[in-house]
Amino acid sequence: MATYPEYPPDQSDEEQKYLLTSLKDWSIAHGLAVRPTTTYVSAEIDPSGALATTAPVTLFPSLFPRVCFEQAKSVAQDYNELYSAIASDEEWLKQTVEELVDIDDFIAQLWKVHLAVKQQGYVQPLNLGLFRSDYMVHTDPANAQSRPCVKQVEFNTIASSFGGLSTQVSALHKYLFTVGAYPEAPLSVISDAALPESTSVPGLAMGMAKAHEAYGPSKDGLATCVLFLVQDPERNVFDQRHVEYVLNKNYGVKTFRLPFGKVLNDTKLDADRKLVYSPPHAPSKQFEVTLVYFRAGYSPAEYQNQRDWDGRLQIERSAAIKCPSILTQLAGTKKVQQVLATPHSPHLKRFLPDEARAAELLKTFAPIYPMDKSEAGEEARKLAQDPETAVRYVLKPQREGGGNNVYRKAIPRFLKDTPETHWPAHILMEMIEPPAQSNVIFRNGELQKGGVICELGIYGACLWRDEDGKGKREILENFEAGYLLRTKGCGSEEGGVAAGFGSVDSACLIDVD
Ligand code: ADP
Ligand code: MG
């Protein structure tokens, strides 16, 4: 493939100043914002937590091949179908999870919650997935003529974030273009048609509204509500608020934010296991919860004591629809992704029997290997221990939220320091190497200019009814729900915006050969 055109255009100091002022004002006016880190604004300066700042954002929309963008969007519904099928197939999931329970305490605890609910019987067959499939552009280094395609980094089934801010950042870049804040260099590739709108806010809100509607009114005559289960403190609160406000405004749904550690304080189960919520500011009121939307509960550090696990169990036992249920959360483990993507894996067709559609998904898989004692695992162990080959790989444990992976040359040392019995808790994945490009990131009041790497996320919403716990299900809603582009400096291996590595961005689509 040809390299990307020279981009972004050069700017004079005055041009950059104008662009930055326009960006900062627009961002705050439209809630493209986060709470500041305490290193940026100390607790002494802002003791009551009243301040917010522009979210880390790129000045320019980054280049992204149009064919790759379209490819990622075209498989969104198939990915929804695939992961709803996996989450509904308890027996298959059990085999995969059982390989982890002895070596990964967090996964073991999650599985225990599932078993406890199963014993009593699940009372809610409806499930909502608000997924995000993350990709990078890949070009075959061995074939200069090959067209770029997307390869999947990971598939998120819990707390898929930045849908709220993504819609704002695509609108920001479009605004900056329309007011002429971008210099008109001769090579400028920015145009109205090149800037796709991100529909993640309306898309995610619609997914939640459909679940809320499918639950129906309370049979006991209570008012109903959707609960956003959140971390406390949460810096990325505005990202969540954007979705909440649309849910409220466009669908009339009442919403509350419940800190993860407060589940047992503020909710209870009635005799039919309906989840009843009493807000701490109005304890005499009772709401029947139709949907619990998890923006927390994906990381072991959030489960500080038994009470937190009991809270999780209470939600899982309840009749509220969960986004996601514990089985859907487990379907999103990297182990499941590896089992599907290990070369010659037979598993994909179990969940997606349509060969043509399965073939399109397969094209998005990068090679991933187990670290166990299977044939593929032994091969992976060799690749990971040899410093010469390890540089082409990333080693990942079963964790979400950024900052957990081991990259390239650090892998052999990490394995030396890790008991061999623990190796199978990881997967080994080939690094995707996207084409080089540059941009300017504005983060914590500072500009960082240089080479960047982009990661495209495509949101998907899927509402389904489990019929037998063995994979049979009825899909009620299945749609693509907008996109996210995150961009990091190419010196950083990690990409998480909230984890402190990346920025939110939007796509400037280009036609490549
Ligand atoms: P997490 O669940 O922590 O988000 P990811 O699998 O998304 O874990 O990995 C974190 C980051 O590491 C990604 O955002 C991406 O920047 C980088 N990364 C992960 N896998 C790959 C890969 N195969 N090739 C290139 N970069 C990767
Ligand atoms: Mg990720």
Give the separation between CA 148 and CA 154, rounded to whole angstroms.
Answer: 19
Average pLDDT, rounded, for the chain = 95
Q: Give 203: exposed, middle or buried? Use CB within 10 Å, 0-12, 13-18, 19+.
A: buried
User: 414 versus 3: which is more confidently predicted?
Assistant: 414
Name the amino acid, one letter, at 236: N
Q: Which residues contact 497 (CB under 8 A, 6 or more apart)?
A: 55, 56, 162, 486, 503, 504
- Asked whether the predicted pLDDT for residue 1 surpasses 70, the reply is no
- Residue 289: pLDDT over 70: yes
For residues 226 and 496, the model is more confident at: 226
Who wins on pLDDT, 147 or 429?
Answer: 429
CA of 494 to the centre of ligand 1 (A): 6
Q: Looking at residue 470, what is its pLDDT?
A: 83
* Cβ of 455 below 6 Å from ligand 1: yes
For residue 490, name the pLDDT band (cuts at 50, 70, 90).
confident
Question: What distance in Å separates the CA atoms of residue 423 and residue 173, rounded to the nearest whole number?
Answer: 44
User: In 216-294, where does DSSP find H-type helix?
Assistant: 237-251, 263-266
Taking the CA of residue 396 as reference, the ligand 1 atom at the shortest distance is 6
- CA distance readout (Å), 114 to 120, 227, 301: 10, 21, 20
Report CA torsion sign: 447, 448, 454, 457: negative
User: Where does residue 104 rank: exposed (0-12), middle (13-18), buried (19+ CB within 10 A)?
Assistant: buried
Residue 186: exposed, middle, or buried by beta-carbon count in 10 A (0-12, 13-18, 19+)?
Answer: exposed
Which residues are designated catalytic? 132, 154, 156, 161, 334, 396, 400-401, 486
Report whether residue 366 contacts ligand 1, using a CB cutoff of 6 Å.
yes
H/E element, 327: helix 326-331
Band of residue 500 on the pLDDT scale cut at 50, 70, 90: low
Residue 7 · residue 63 · CB < 8 Å:
yes
Ligand 1, residue 488: give the atom nearest the CA. 16
345 lines ligand 1 (CB under 6 A): no
What phi and psi, each to the nearest 5 degrees, are found at residue 142? -85, -10
Please tell me the pTM assigned to this model: 0.97
Query: Among 395, 405, 452, which residue has the most ligand 1 atoms within 8 Å of its CB, making it the best to mutate?
Result: 405
| Contact status, residue 126 vs residue 211, Cβ threshold 8 Å | yes
pLDDT band, very low/low/confident/very high, at 347 (cuts 50, 70, 90): very high
Ligand nearest to the CA of 454: 1
Please give the average per-residue pLDDT across 179-192, as a whole number.
86
Compute φ and ψ for 140, nearest 5 degrees.
-75, 115
pLDDT at 85 over 90: yes
* Residue 54 contacts residue 24 (beta carbons within 8 Å): yes
Q: Which residue matches tokens 């309840």?
A: 318
Ligand number, closest to the Cα atom of 430: 1
Residue 499: per-residue pLDDT? 59
Q: Cα of 149 to ligand 1 centre, how many Å? A: 17
Taking the CA of residue 434 as reference, the ligand 1 atom at the shortest distance is 25
Given a cut of 90, whether residue 186 has pLDDT beyond it is no
364 has pLDDT over 70: yes
| Spacing of C-alpha 508 from chain mean position | 21
Q: Is the CB of 286 under 6 A from ligand 1?
A: no
Which residues, other chains included, contact 485 with Cβ-Cβ below 8 Å and sequence gap of 6+? 61, 62, 64, 166, 169, 454, 455, 456, 457, 504, 505, 506, 507
Assign 3-class secondary structure to 40-62. CCCCCCCCCCCCCEECCEECCCE
Q: Which residues pair with 89 in a beta bridge?
A: 470
pLDDT tens digit string along 229-286? 999 999 999 999 999 999 999 999 999 999 999 999 999 999 999 999 999 999 999 9
Which ligand is nearest to the Cα of residue 486, counting in written order?
A: 1
By CB neighbour count within 10 A (0-12 exposed, 13-18 middle, 19+ buried), where does 374 fall?
Answer: middle
What is the DSSP code (8-state) at residue 89? B
> In sequence order, what are the beta bridge partners of 48?
none
% pLDDT > 90, the chain = 90
Cα–Cα distance measured from residue 513 to residue 509, given in angstroms and rounded to the nearest whole number: 13
Neighbouring residues of 101: CB distance < 8 A, sequence distance ≥ 6: 107, 108, 111
Say if residue 397 carries a ligand binding annotation: yes
Residue 438, C-beta contacts closer than 8 angstroms, at least 6 positions apart: 7, 8, 449, 450, 451, 452
Q: How confident is the model at residue 496 (pLDDT cuts 50, 70, 90)?
A: low
Confidence of residue 3 (pLDDT cuts 50, 70, 90): confident
Ordered strands of the 393-397 beta sheet: 368-370, 426-430, 393-397, 406-407
